[in-house]
């Protein structure tokens, strides 16, 4: 019988030892793959989470800005309505203070003016293309011209007094 040298550099391994080493190596490889997959999953989930948070933050920010602008628009619209009502009030006040009736009353009360009757109104006929020329001397007209003007004026006054146009 031969003696076995146990101190030799070569050791014989049993089939179970080889299988267990192989299983351990496979387990290590599988663990590495799982860790790699989980790290990728974690990166994806974290980036997805960050993206969702960012989108939600932008939506909230946009809603806040929209609410602020809507509030400003509402306040400006209410100011416009107030200004329009103030304008109507001031226009009615102005219309009541500047009415023709009030002006006539004020002229009669403060200035003592009276409305002229129809017979008190005298119309002036203008000749020479409706121009008034003021000279130092009155223009000398012929007797016939003066007579016709006087007759026309008298007829006009009579028509006015009677009420014939």
Kindly tell me if the per-residue pLDDT of 131 is higher than 80: no
pLDDT at 164: 73
* Whether residues 91 and 133 fall in one domain: no
Indicate if 106 and 129 belong to the same structural domain: no
Give a yes or no: residue 8 inside a domain. no
Weakest mean pLDDT among 3-12, 37-46, 62-71: 3-12
pLDDT at 34 over 80: no
> If you average pLDDT over residues 103-131, what whole number do you get?
76
Q: What is the pLDDT of residue 45?
A: 80
The rounded distance, in Å, linking the Cα atoms of 165 and 157 is: 11
For 42, the token pair is: 């974690």
Same domain, 108 and 131: no
Residue position matching structure tokens 């939600």: 56
Average pLDDT rounded to a whole number, residues 23-31? 82
Q: Which of 149, 151, 153, 148 is nearest to 123 (CA)?
A: 153
What size, in residues, is the chain?
A: 165
Q: Are residues 30 and 90 in the same domain?
A: yes
How many domains does the chain contain in total?
2
Mean pLDDT of the region 40-63:
89
Q: 122, 115, 125: which is closest to 161 by C-alpha?
A: 122
Residue 1: which pLDDT band, with cuts at 50, 70 and 90? Answer: very low
22 and 45 in one domain?
A: yes
- Using the Cα atoms of residue 11, residue 13, residue 17 and residue 23 in order, give the sign of their dihedral: positive
Mean pLDDT of 43-68: 92
CA–CA gap between residue 96 and residue 83 (Å, rounded): 20
SS3 sequence, the chain? CCCCCCCCCCCCCCHHHHHHHHHHHHHHHHHHHHHHHHHHHHHHHHHHHHHHHHHHHHHHHHHHHHHHHHHHHHHHHHHHHHHHHHHHHHHHHHHHHCCHHHHHHHHHHHCCCCCCCHHHCCCCCCCCCCCCCCCCCCCCCCHHHHHHHHHHHHHHHHHHHHCCC
Q: Are residues 101 and 153 located together in one domain of the fold?
A: no
pTM score, whole prediction: 0.37
Any domain includes 53: yes
**Are 121 and 89 in a shared domain?**
no
Do 68 and 141 belong together in one domain? no
Domain hosting residue 127, numbered range: 116-162
Contacts of 102 (CB under 8 A, 6+ apart): 96
Q: What is the pLDDT of residues 135-155, one digit of tens each?
A: 656 556 788 888 888 898 888
Question: Domain boundary at 94, 114, 134, which?
Answer: 114
pLDDT (tens digit, 9 = 90+) per residue, 61-74? 999 999 999 999 99
Co-location of 55 and 132 in the same domain: no
Residues 141 and 67 in one domain: no
Residue 131 and residue 60 in one domain: no
To the nearest whole percent, how much of the chain has pLDDT over 70? 82
């Amino acid at each position: 019988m031969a003696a076995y040298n146990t101190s030799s550099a070569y050791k014989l391994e049993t089939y179970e030892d080889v299988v267990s080493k192989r299983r351990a190596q496979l387990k290590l490889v599988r663990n590495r793959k799982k860790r790699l997959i989980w790290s990728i999953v974690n990166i994806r989930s974290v980036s997805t989470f960050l993206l969702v948070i960012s989108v939600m933050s932008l939506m909230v920010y946009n809603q806040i800005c929209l609410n602020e602008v809507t509030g400003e628009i509402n306040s400006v619209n209410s100011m416009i309505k107030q200004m329009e009502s103030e304008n109507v009030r001031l226009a009615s006040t102005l219309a009541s203070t500047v009415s023709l009736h009030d002006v006539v009353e004020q002229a009669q009360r403060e200035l003592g003016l009276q409305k002229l009757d129809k017979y008190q109104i005298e119309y002036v006929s203008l000749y020479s293309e409706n121009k008034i020329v003021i000279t130092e001397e009155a223009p000398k007209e012929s007797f016939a011209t003066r007579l016709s003007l006087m007759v026309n004026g008298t007829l006009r006054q009579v028509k006015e007094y009677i009420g014939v146009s």
